[in-house]
Amino acid sequence: MRKLRCLIVDDDVITGRLLKNMVSEYGACDEVGTGKKAIDSFKRAWDEGNPYDLVFLDIMMPEMDGQMALRAMREYESTRADIGEKSCRIIIMTVSREPHDVVEAYKNQCDGFMTKPIAKFQVDKVILQGQL
């Protein structure tokens, strides 16, 4: 399996570090704490010719929530002339168990939805099997 490039977006530093520890065995991980920083990192990765393979994106964050960041990431991806469809897998994470959060995330083109706290087996399943 080739090494992944991953972005972890969570305003909770502890959750972000725990997730980074779970994912880092599969490749390089960048970590940011806001939706705005996530979009900046996402765009920069594309501009550098090394886009992310996988993004773990929290819904509830300061400045810009994960749903807005997800929409912005998908919009940016769609403007890239060198791809015809989304290429990065984006997994939404939240402590919320509200059905409307799940529905909105899939409308915004997420690839999966995980409820916190995140367990290692969930991360392994996302990465190894490409599903939740």
Residues 32-79 pLDDT 10s: 999 999 999 999 999 998 999 999 999 999 889 999 999 999 999 988
pLDDT of residue 132: 44
Question: At 22, which CATH number?
Answer: 3.40.50.2300
**Placement of tokens 């993004």 in the chain:** 55
Instruction: Count structural domains, the chain.
Output: 1
**Residue span of the structural domain in which 22 resides:** 4-129
| Residue 85 confidence (pLDDT) above 60 | no
